[in-house]
Amino acid sequence: MAKHDTIRALVKRGVSEELAERVADAGLTLGALKALTPSELAERISISAEEAEEILALVGSKPKREVTPEEDTSLEAKVARLKVPQSVKDELIAKLSKLDLSKRQIDKVLKRVEEEYERVRIDPCEAVGIVAAQSIGEPGTQMTMRTFHYAGVAEIYVTLGLPRIIEIVDARKTPSTPMMVIKLDEEHRHDKQKAHALATKIEATYPSHLGDIITLPDEMMIRIDVDDRALERRGISMEDLFQKIQDHGKFNADLELDEENRSIIIRPKEYSYRELLQLRERLTSTNPSSGILISGIKGITRVVIRHEDGEYTLYTEGSALKEVLELDGVDATRTTTNNINEIENVLGIEAARNAIITEMVNTLSEQGLNVDIRHLMLVADMMTVDGEVKQIGRHGVAGEKASVLSRAAFEVTVNHLLDASLYGYVDELRGVTENVIVGQPIRLGTGDVELVAKPYGKVVE
Amino acid sequence: MKGGTLLDHELVPKHEVLTEEEEKAVLRKYKVSKRQLPKIKYSDPIAREIGAEVGQIIKITRDSKTAGKSIAYRVVIDQ
Whether residue A295 lies inside any domain: the answer is: no
Residues A391-410 as b or e (16 or more Cβ within 10 Å = b): bbeeebbbbeeebbbbbbbe
Q: Kindly report the CATH number assigned to the domain that includes residue A49.
A: 1.10.150
Whether residue B35 lies inside any domain: the answer is: yes
Whether residue A251 lies inside any domain: the answer is: yes
What's the gap in Å between the CA of B65 and the closest CA on chain A?
8
Q: Does A336 touch chain B (CB under 8 A)?
A: yes
Pairwise CB contact (< 8 Å): A354 & B29: no
Whether residue A168 lies inside any domain: the answer is: no
State the amino acid at position A15 in one-letter form.
V
Residue A18 and residue A86 in one domain: no
Q: Does A80 touch chain B (CB under 8 A)?
A: no
Number of domains chain A contains: 4
Whether residue B1 lies inside any domain: the answer is: no
Whether residue A162 lies inside any domain: the answer is: no
Whether residue B27 lies inside any domain: the answer is: yes
Whether residue A358 lies inside any domain: the answer is: no
Sheet holding A263-268, edge to edge: A211-216, A221-226, A263-268, A253-258
Residues of the domain holding B49: 6-77
Whether residue A113 lies inside any domain: the answer is: yes
Pick from B6, B8, B9, B42 the residue to mutate for testing the A interface (most A CBs within 10 Å): B9
Whether residue B14 lies inside any domain: the answer is: yes
What's the gap in Å between the CA of A434 and the closest CA on chain B?
23
Distance CA A39, CA B21 (A): 12
Residues of the domain holding A31: 1-59
Number of domains chain B contains: 1
Say how many C-beta atoms besides its own lie within 10 A of residue A452's C-beta. Answer: 5
Domain boundary among A240, A262, A284: A284
In contact, A224 and A212? CB cutoff 8 Å: yes
Q: Please tell me the total number of residues recorded for chain B in this structure.
A: 79
Q: Kindly report the CATH number assigned to the domain that includes residue B64.
A: 3.90.940.20
Residue A80 and residue A27 in one domain: no
Cβ partners under 8 Å of residue A134, min gap 6: none
In tens digits, chain A (461 residues) has pLDDT values of 566 777 777 777 777 777 777 777 777 777 677 767 777 777 777 777 777 777 777 776 444 344 454 556 778 888 888 888 889 998 888 888 888 888 888 889 999 999 999 999 988 778 899 999 999 999 988 887 666 555 554 577 788 888 889 999 999 898 988 999 999 988 888 988 888 888 888 888 888 888 888 888 887 888 888 888 888 888 787 877 888 777 776 667 777 777 777 888 888 777 778 878 888 888 888 777 777 888 888 888 888 888 888 899 999 988 999 999 988 889 989 999 999 999 999 999 999 999 999 999 999 998 888 999 999 999 999 999 999 999 998 888 888 888 899 999 888 899 999 999 999 999 988 888 889 999 988 888 777 777 777 777 665 55
CA nearest neighbour of A10 among A67, A62, A19 = A19
Could you give the ipTM of this predicted complex?
A: 0.94
| Distances, alpha carbon A61 to alpha carbons A65, A144, A215, B52, in Å | 9, 70, 99, 44
pTM over 0.90: no
Identify which of A46, A86, A388 has the shortest CB distance to residue B67.
Answer: A86
Whether residue B47 lies inside any domain: the answer is: yes
Distance CA A108, CA A215 (A): 86
